[in-house]
Amino acid sequence: MPEAVGLPGAIPLVESEVAERAAGLLPDKNAAIVTYCSNPACPNSEAVARKLTGQGYTNVRKYREGIQDWVEAGLPIESGVPSGH
């Protein structure tokens, strides 16, 4: 399994896994959830957010600028996390 880089505390979830894994990973449909991707050109955060909203999650936001913006701001990341693919 490839390793991914993520924001601290992030839960890896891709669009194709939302239907199967979201309820187990994110049981509180009213919790604040932020989706993000590698950079603004990546469509995955939008796709995951749309699927979560479609499943009844009420507080979903997108961090459009993603990991690229986070790193450029000098904020910490986690690496060595299984990507889930």
- The per-residue pLDDT for range 19-30, each reduced to its tens digit, is 999 999 999 999
- The per-residue pLDDT for range 45-73, each reduced to its tens digit, is 999 999 999 999 999 999 999 999 999 99
Alpha-carbon dihedral sign for residues 15, 19, 21, 25: positive
For a pLDDT cut of 90, what percent of the chain falls above it? 81
User: If we measure between CA atoms, which residue out of 27, 43, 30, 36 comes closest to residue 61?
Assistant: 36
Residue 75, helix vs strand vs coil: coil
Is residue 1 predicted with pLDDT exceeding 60?
Answer: no
**Per-residue confidence (pLDDT) for residue 61, from 0 to 100:** 97
| pTM for the full predicted model | 0.83
Query: Pairing relation of β-strands 60-63 and 33-36?
Result: parallel
Residue with tokens 């979560």: 52
**Per-residue confidence (pLDDT) for residue 79, from 0 to 100:** 81
